[in-house]
Amino acid sequence: MSTPGTTTTSLNQRRVSYFYDAEIGNYHYGQGHPMKPHRIRMTHNLVVNYGLYRRMEVFRPRLVSHTAMTRFHSDDYINFLKVISPDNMQDYIRQLQRFNVGEDCPVFDGLFEFCQLYTSGSIGGAARLNENRVDVVINFAGGLHHAKRAEASGFCYVNDCVLAILELLKKHERVLYIDIDIHHGDGVEEAFYTTNRVMTVSFHKFGEYFPGTGDVHDIGHADGKNYAINFPLNDGMDDDSFRGVFRPIIAKVMEVFQPGAVVLQCGADSLSGDRLGCFNLSIKGHGDCVEFVKSFHIPMLVLGGGGYTLRNIPRCWTYETSILAGEDIKDELPFNDYFEYFGPDYRLHLPVSNMENLNSPEYLQRTKIQLLEILREVEPVPGTQIQTGQIESQTNPRGIIFEMDHSTQEENENEDETMDNQQIREERKEHPSELEG
């Protein structure tokens, strides 16, 4: 493992793959719903107009089958997602309730294909990392961290983060999951709560806020004890405060856990001015987390997640793409298909607000020390004796039952299609109501 800050130019030049399917922006959660897949298309368009595609290989993911999703999710839940549509909803009242589909997680046209698209980039990206053909994979369509084994939650249906981690576990003994979305990464934490092969680390708003979990005392169970790390935060987190807790905790995690691969969920709802969020991070402050994780030179899967103020998200994820691709980009935005969204300043970086930071230095310091104490309990290089099967299912009925399958993935032989420049620069398309918000 390299130490951050000692990078050389050659090490800084990482091989980056970027997964994107132009169809993703055509799905629509419904009028007034804050989650807008269109933001992925806006991000892509800005990435392209900054010329960043020249620094990466751009792939259209090969679609994974529903069987690939049942490595985590229950068969009946995935079958339900396959058949449900706005036309037949009235025939599935009980299942809609049972699987928590209908309100926050609405039924919309093409729902299953949408899940397939974002999940395929994450699983395909993990497979590509496993083949050691690339150092970093980006899939901003993914990062839907709230979905449970048999339940939709918080705008998420299929948990691509969990499925990507399972793919990485085929090759790597230990996988680290880091979550900087403003919401707790509950679905991922729950899936791996009783194993020491996956450490989950989440920084999130806590207290009368969705999903309500992620207390500092929730640290994992059985073999997974001390392998779930939660930093609960209050409104108004700013760049300096975030950096002051993120860097020391992640540095300690890297030291004690020594992961073979990292999944970084980059939810953009932790940015200042988010429609649903209440933090005050700038795009640079958010990107600093990406920069820091990158500096450890561990195979890295970078995912999207939340993000509900449409003009912020493309800025944030394009900036983070530039960090990963190792190219400085100018603050003045290039002309792009969605230029009107970025007024009045048309700049990449945005000022933060003057909201009060309700996280006192004392609180941050105390919680940081608490978490560093937990990390001190982590045994060096765990994972040689892993309890699987029965024990997992008894102690964590909603989590993963490991199959310990190290065979080559039959579903995705990584035939993700490379896109040429023509395909990368696709035409502008959007649903009329996407222009709101």
Give catalytic residue positions: 146
Burial readout 145-176 (b: 16 or more C-beta within 10 A, e: otherwise): bbbbbbbbbbbbbbbbbbbbbbbbbbbbbbbb
Rounded to whole angstroms, the Cα distance separating 264 from 175 reads 11
Looking at beta carbons only, is 278 or 333 nearer to Zn ion? 278
Looking at beta carbons only, is 59 or 242 nearer to Zn ion? 242
Burial readout 254-289 (b: 16 or more C-beta within 10 A, e: otherwise): bebbbbbbbbbbbbbbbbbbbebbbbbbbbbbbbbb
Looking at beta carbons only, is 187 or 259 nearer to Zn ion? 187
Tell me the closest approach of the beta carbon of residue 349 to Zn ion, in angstroms.
22
Q: Are strands 57-60 and 417-418 parallel, antiparallel or unpaired?
A: antiparallel
The separation between CA 114 and the C-alpha centre of its own chain, rounded to angstroms, equals: 16
Using rule CB under 5 A, residue 179 touches Zn ion: no
Using rule CB under 5 A, residue 146 touches Zn ion: no
Tell me the closest approach of the beta carbon of residue 221 to Zn ion, in angstroms.
24
Looking at beta carbons only, is 232 or 306 nearer to Zn ion? 306
Rounded to whole angstroms, the Cα distance separating 125 from 164 reads 8
Looking at beta carbons only, is 103 or 332 nearer to Zn ion? 103
Stretch that binds Zn ion, among 12-20, 42-50, 254-262, 299-307 (CB under 5 A): 299-307
Reading the block at residue 154, the tokens are 């918080």
Looking at beta carbons only, is 151 or 181 nearer to Zn ion? 181
**Out of 185, 259, 267, 383, which residue is the one contacting Zn ion (CB under 5 A)?**
267
Using rule CB under 5 A, residue 190 touches Zn ion: no
Rounded to whole angstroms, the Cα distance separating 348 from 23 reads 25
Stretch that binds Zn ion, among 49-57, 86-94, 278-286, 303-311 (CB under 5 A): 303-311
**Out of 55, 128, 149, 183, which residue is the one contacting Zn ion (CB under 5 A)?**
183
Stretch that binds Zn ion, among 269-277, 314-322, 345-353, 354-362 (CB under 5 A): 269-277
Using rule CB under 5 A, residue 269 touches Zn ion: yes
x/- track of binding to Zn ion for residues 312-351 (CB under 5 A): ----------------------------------------
Rounded to whole angstroms, the Cα distance separating 387 from 289 reads 32
Stretch that binds Zn ion, among 1-9, 25-33, 306-314, 315-323 (CB under 5 A): 306-314
Stretch that binds Zn ion, among 89-97, 196-204, 211-219, 261-269 (CB under 5 A): 261-269
Using rule CB under 5 A, residue 181 touches Zn ion: yes
Size of the site for Zn ion (CB under 5 A): 5
Tell me the closest approach of the beta carbon of residue 133 to Zn ion, in angstroms.
31
Q: Which of 164, 71, 77 is nearest to 119 (CA)?
A: 164
Looking at beta carbons only, is 35 or 127 nearer to Zn ion? 35
Tell me the closest approach of the beta carbon of residue 94 to Zn ion, in angstroms.
29
Contact, 296 vs 259, CB < 8 A? no
Task: Please give the span between the terminal C-alpha atoms of the chain, in angstroms, as a whole number.
Answer: 43
Question: Does the bond joining 211 to the residue before it have cis omega, within 30 degrees of 0?
Answer: yes
Rounded to whole angstroms, the Cα distance separating 204 from 185 reads 8
Question: Which residue's beta carbon is nearest to the bound Zn ion?
Answer: 306
Burial class (CB in 10 A: 0-12, 13-18, 19+), 240: exposed
**Out of 185, 224, 236, 306, which residue is the one contacting Zn ion (CB under 5 A)?**
306
Contact residues: Zn ion, CB under 5 A: 181, 183, 267, 269, 306
